[in-house]
Amino acid sequence: MRRPMLKTLLWTGLFLTGVALIWLFWDPHESPPSATTTFAGAIGLMLILLPPIFAVRAGLVAIGAARLRAGHGELARWQVTADDWNRFRMFDRLRTQEDADAVNDMAVRRRRSGSMVDVIVGRRQLIADGSYHVLRPRGLPELLGASWLAPIGAPECLEFRILYAGRYGSRRMCLRVPVPADARSLGERVLHHYQQLIPPPRDALAYRHPWRVIGGGLAVAAAALAAGLTGGAMLGAGMTGALPILLRGIGLATAVAALIFTAIIAVGVRPWKKG
């Protein structure tokens, strides 16, 4: 995000506009409300509900960016010449065209010759060309990996693989920043830090502790079977009501499901074949 303070003020202004609309046009004694009152109330309510969310987000970004610029949690800082930056921009465009998952989360702008681009990298975030980005393994976006690129005809780059998880799907992207030749040691330090920060992938629990998972599945099946048999015995003894019926039905169904799950795990993992 660029210019977070300006965006914070903008969203806050929209929120205050919504409050003003409600205060100016809403009349609780007007029945039924006029079309103007209804329209102003709807717009005002929308401005009261939505902008605060974006204002808080932009405000947090503004605070984080200000702290990083002041040196809090800083790992490295370097400058990129306009020529190197524009060559990086061309490479970034080509990489995005080659791989849909490599779209840069940062909009890479063209820079005028003679200018310099500041890059500041912190322990959990970075700023490049005024654009602030959070880099956390379990954050939003989630940091998945960090690597070093050495393209031909462009500066070497740091590439961070990130994931935006959503309710209806996820989107993989990258965050790339150039590292000039005179800052290579700084870039390598940043790369090492983030590679150490990302936890190594772990096998699923069924592969790490197969007997524990199988034993748990059998225990659940046994308990559910006992509940089902108890419900059947209660019905056999002439007990009426919903309790024995539910015990028998849910208990037997759960027992069958647990046994099927356990069998799938056992056949898939085959722990008896492991040393």
Task: Calculate mean pLDDT across residues 125-130.
Answer: 93
Which pLDDT score is estimated for 117? 94
> Residue 122 above 80 pLDDT?
yes
Q: Any residues with CB less than 8 A from the CB of 11 and at least 6 apart, and which?
A: 51, 52, 54, 55, 58
For residues 80 and 139, state if they share a domain.
Answer: yes
Q: How many separate domains does the chain show?
A: 3
The verdict on 155 and 265 lying in the same domain is no
Helices 51-69 and 4-25: angle between axes, nearest 10 degrees? 150
pLDDT category at 148 given cuts 50, 70, 90 is: very high
82 and 178, same structural domain? yes
Model pLDDT, residue 78: 95
Torsion of the alpha carbons at 139, 190, 153 and 84, rounded to the nearest 10: 90
Quick check: 116 and 82 in contact, CB under 8 A? yes
Task: Give percent above pLDDT 70 in the chain.
Answer: 93
- Of 199, 203, 155, nearest to 181 by C-alpha is 155
**pLDDT score at 170:** 82
Please check whether residues 103 and 20 belong to one and the same domain. no
Residue 99's CB is within 10 A of a number of other CB atoms, namely 11
Candidates 125, 122, 132, 115; CA nearest to 80 is: 115
- Same domain for 50 and 97, yes or no, is no
Bridge pairing between strands 125-128 and 169-179: unpaired
Q: How confident is the model at residue 275 (pLDDT cuts 50, 70, 90)?
A: low
Q: Which of 25-39, 43-57, 183-197 has the lowest mean pLDDT?
A: 25-39
- The better pLDDT of the pair 159, 111 is held by 159
The answer to whether residues 82 and 139 belong to one domain is yes
Q: Assign residue 83 the CATH number of its domain.
A: 2.30.29
Let me know whether 174 and 249 are in one domain: no
Average pLDDT for residues 224-252, to the nearest whole number? 86
Domain hosting residue 9, numbered range: 4-69
Q: Look at residue 203 in the predicted model and tell me its pLDDT.
A: 64
Residue pLDDT, tens place only, 158-216:
999 999 876 667 889 999 999 999 999 999 999 999 999 887 766 666 677 888 888 99
Enumerate helices (H) and strands (E) in the chain, giving the number of each.
Answer: 8, 7
